[in-house]
Amino acid sequence: MRTFTLLAPLVSLALAAAPATTEMTLTSADGYALKGTLTLPAAKGKVPVVILAHQFRADRTGWAPLAERLAARGIGTLALDLRGHGASTLKGGAQMTVSSDFMASAKAVGFDSIPADLAQAATWLRSQPGVDGRRIGLAGSSVGAFAALLAAPQVKPVAILSLSPAGTGAFGEGAREKLKGAVLGAKASTLVLAATDDKDAYQNALALANQPGVALSLWEGKDHGFAFFKDHAELMAVFFGEYLTYHHTGKAYAAKPAK
């Protein structure tokens, strides 16, 4: 397992101007109006961006502890409300909202289509001014983590953060094998956090243990998804900082020389 060293804050990372935010809407292939917020830190050139997929019965605001730390490192975020959650509850003009029953919600709302939603969001993101399409990250929590890993081969991120990848039953027969195949095909640096008493997430994490590029961070207890922010948000930010920027080395990206 690779060890990530926490770095002291750098004065050079302080941003004089506040990040710029853009509210966006995408229409999924099956008719959902998917809402999100693109936040780009002030920068002279294009910046890396992490796509954020939240957990069941949450919304995009749950990512605030990580998003703030990423902005301080010059990394933007595209935080989405997943289908049936937050402001993404309209499908063809009809309201479709999740209930407290996970599997019933998964079937009614179509959780197995979330990976395609994330791939669509990545295509939109790469078309936006100020975004460096070569440096895209993916982060997911719980069902959002499982979906993010499945979406990775289409999104082609540099790095993936997976908090408690769970909700296996929502993604059909052989979902765990599909998960392993997707991670292998993505060829991204992947950090997975899971707790030993969080059965589905823990088993999914173990299934990825021997995949190239995957680092597991396993903890005792029952913490799930966003609960890891309390003690590990800085680790997550450093992970993306290492793979999406050169801030930890003091170097800057240079333009490619003309042929």
**Does the pLDDT value for residue 229 go beyond 80?**
yes
**Does the pLDDT value for residue 66 go beyond 60?**
yes
Token output for 33 = 């109006």
Global pTM value = 0.90
Instruction: Characterize 10-36 residue by residue with b for buried, 16 or more Cβ atoms within 10 angstroms of its Cβ, and e for exposed.
Output: eeeeeeeeebeeeeeebebeeebbbbb
Please write the tens of the pLDDT for every residue from 136-195: 999 999 999 999 999 999 999 999 999 999 999 999 999 999 999 999 999 999 999 999
**What pLDDT score was predicted for residue 164?**
98
Please report, rounded to a whole number, the percentage of residues in the chain having pLDDT higher than 90: 86
Instruction: Specify the residue for token string 């029953």.
Output: 101
Lowest mean pLDDT across 13-22, 27-36, 66-75, 204-213? 13-22
Going from the C-alpha of 211 to that of each of 55, 64, 164, the distances in angstroms are 24, 30, 17
8 neighbors 55 (Cβ within 8 angstroms): no
Please write the tens of the pLDDT for every residue from 28-54: 999 999 999 999 999 889 999 999 999
**What pLDDT score was predicted for residue 17?**
75
Other C-beta atoms lying within 10 Å of the C-beta of residue 123: 12
The Cα 160–Cα 82 span in angstroms is 18
**What pLDDT score was predicted for residue 251?**
46
Domains of the chain and any CATH numbers: 24-244 (3.40.50.1820)
